[in-house]
A and B are shown apart, each in its own frame.
Chain A
Amino acid sequence: MIEIINLTKHYGEIKAVENVSFSVNKGEILGFLGPNGAGKSTTMNIITGYIPSTSGTVTVDGYDIMEHSREVKKRIGYMPELPPLYLDMTVTDFLDFCAQLKEVDKKAWKSQKDDIMELVKITHVQHRLIRNLSKGYKQRVGLAQALVGAPEVLVLDEPTVGLDPKQIIEIRKLIKALGKNHTIILSSHILPEVSAVCERVVIINKGKIVAVDTPENLSKNLTDFTKFRMTIAGPEKRVKELIQQVYGVKYLEVQNTGKDDECSYIIEADKDIDVRKPIFHKLAQVGYPILELRSLGLSLEEIFLQLTTEEREVN
C-alpha cells in the first residue's frame, strides 16, 4: 500500500532523514518508533505531502507523492502532532469544512459524519466551539478530521501525546478498531503503546532505520540467550551448585524472597539449549520443588534502548 524508497531530507547541513526505506502492507498497523528528534515527524510530513523530500520516492496505492500528489492526498488522512483545528468553529462546522475541503460527496458525508462522531465519541460536544474543548476532545476532533472522507491510509503522529492514562487507553482501542479497515502508520516515542497496538515496528534513530520487525521477533532476535526466573524451595547454596552444573547455564543470580527456605533465581542460558528440563530433573532427584517458573523476554523498552544506544556508539 505504501512504499518508501531511499527517502532523504536535508535541512541545509542537517540530515533529518537519511535513506529511509520501508513498506506498509494493506490493512497493517505499522508503528514508527524513535526518540524525540529522530525524524519521525519529518518522514510523516513527507508521506502526507506536506513537505517535499530532498530525494527518494514515496508511493501510496501506486501513486507517486510528487507526481500525483492529489491522488495521494485523497487517500491519506493525516493527524499531525499538533491537531490542525480552527478554534473559532464548532465541531460540526469544522468537520463539514474538512469534508468540503477533501471533496467528499455531499450525500455520502451526511451518513459518514454521524458515524465518525460516534466512533471517536464527540457526538455530545458537536455544537461546542473547539476552543472550549479539553485537550482530550481536541485530540479526538483531530482524529475525526483525519477520518473524514474514509481514506484508506491513516497517518497518526503521536496521537496520544498529552492525554491522561484513561484517554490514552481509549485512543489506543480506537486505533486498533480502525486498523480493521484502514492501513495505519502510527508514530510514538512511547514503547508500550507501539507493542500494544502495532503489528510491525520500524525503529528510527537519528534519521536512519535501525530495525524493522514485529515486536515479538525484535525481542527474540536481539537476544542470544533465554532468560527466566525460578523460585525454588531449598537451601540457597546447594540449589545454586546444582543449577550451575547444568549444561548451557551461563549466568545465575540469586534474589531473596524474604522466606527462609525458598529463593528466586534469575537464570540466563544459551538460546539453543532448553535448560529447564535438566534443572527440573536435578532438583527432583534431591527433592527441592520448583515453586515458580517464568520466562523473562527482553521488553521492547530494552530493545529500543539497546538499538538506539548501539547506534550512538557507532557514530
Chain B
Amino acid sequence: MYKLWSTIVKDIRVMLRDKVGLVLMFLMPIVLAIVIASVQNSTFELVNDNKIPVLLLNKDTAEPAQQLEIALGKGGSFEIHKISGTTNEESLRGRINTKDALVAIVIPEDYSKNVLQKAATITAEALKEITDAKETSANKMDTVLPVQIFYHPVLQQAFRSSIDGMLQSALQFIQTKYIVRDVYHAINEEYIPTALEEQIIQNQTPVREVAVSKNEGRQLPNATQHNIPAWTLFAMFFIVISLGSSIVREKLNGSFIRLRTLPTHFGIAILSKQITYVLVTQLQAAVIFSIGILAFPLMGLPALNLPADIFALAMVTFVCGWCAAGFALCIGIFSNTQEQANGAGAVSVVLLAAIGGLLVPSFVMPPSFQLIMKFSPLHWCLEAYYNLFLEGGKLGDTWSNMIPLLVITVLFQIFAFYGLKRKNLI
C-alpha cells in the first residue's frame, strides 16, 4: 500500500508542476463553458426575448399593406425600421452589404391588390352555391409578386427560417382577415363588426412549453444546463494531454526502465496514474459545476441546477472520469513521442466530441453518424449526464448509457494492457 501511496504522491507532484497541463485541464474548459454558454444564451435571447431588427420597404400604400406592416410590428419578433417607399432595391442591398441591417423585407407594389383579389376569388368560390355570384374579374388572378426577404449571408439558416416563419404567419393573418371580411360582406351585405372580426381572426388557443422530464420538473432547459455537462466531459477527456505526455515522457527518459528493474509490479505505476487522473476528473467536474452554480448568475447567465439524484451524478461522473483516464492511458502507451501523444490526443478528443454530440446535437446528425456516434465514449457520457441534468433521471435511468460506457472503459483497459505487453513494459 505504501508503494501505491508513494506512486500517487509522485504522480500528483509531477502533474502539479506541469503548468501547461493544469491550464489545459482546468482553465480551458472553464473558459469554454463560459464563452459557449454566453454565446448560446444570447442567441437564445435574441430569438426568444429580443426583437430582430428588420428594414421594411413598403412599396404599396393601400390598406392591406399597411395592415401587414402593423401585423409584423405587433408580432413581437420584429423591430421594424421603415424606410422610404422611394428607396430602390439597390440601395437596400447596399445597406445590407454594409451590415446596416442583416434582414430587409420588401412589400411589392401590388401586394394589396393581390390580397384583395384572392379574397374575392375565394369568397366567390365558397359562396357560389348559395348566392347568385357571377364570375367576377377576381376570378382571373394576376401574377402574384412575392414579398421578398433580403438577408446578409452571415445570417444562419436557423435565423432565416425563424424570420420566414414569422413573415408567413403575418401574411396568412392579413389574407385571412380580408377573406373573412369579403365572405361576411357577401352574406350579410354589410361590413363585419370589428369585434367579431377580431374574434374570428385571433387564435384563442394558447401554447405552453413543457419539458418532458422524468421527475415531472417544469424547469425549461437552458444554455447552462446543456453546456456545463458537455464541456465538463470535454475537460475530463482533455486530461489526455497531461496523462498521455506524462507516460511518454517516462518511457523516453528511462524512468519506466528503472522501475522495471525494481522489486515492485509495474501495474502499480499504471494503477496510480489512473487513480490520480480519475481524481483530477472529479475535481474538474466539481470546479466546473461550482462555477455553473455560483459564478454563472453573477455573469448574467442562467445558474446550473444540479440533478436531484446527487449519488447518480457522482457515479456517472466517476465512470466518465475512469473512461477518460483509460483513454488517455491508451494514447500514452501507444504513442512513441510527446508530439504524437499531444497531437493524437487532442485531435481524437475533438473528433470523439464531435461524433459524440458535444459540438452538434446528436439528433440532428445524419443516419450514418447515428451508428458511428455509438462508438464514441463521449456520446454515452453526455447521454448519461443529460439524463440527469435535463430529463431529471435517477441512477436507474442512466444504466442504458452507463453499461456501454463501462464496456468501452474495460476495452480501453484491455488495449492498455496489450500495449504494455507489446512494449515489454509488463
A, B in one complex: no
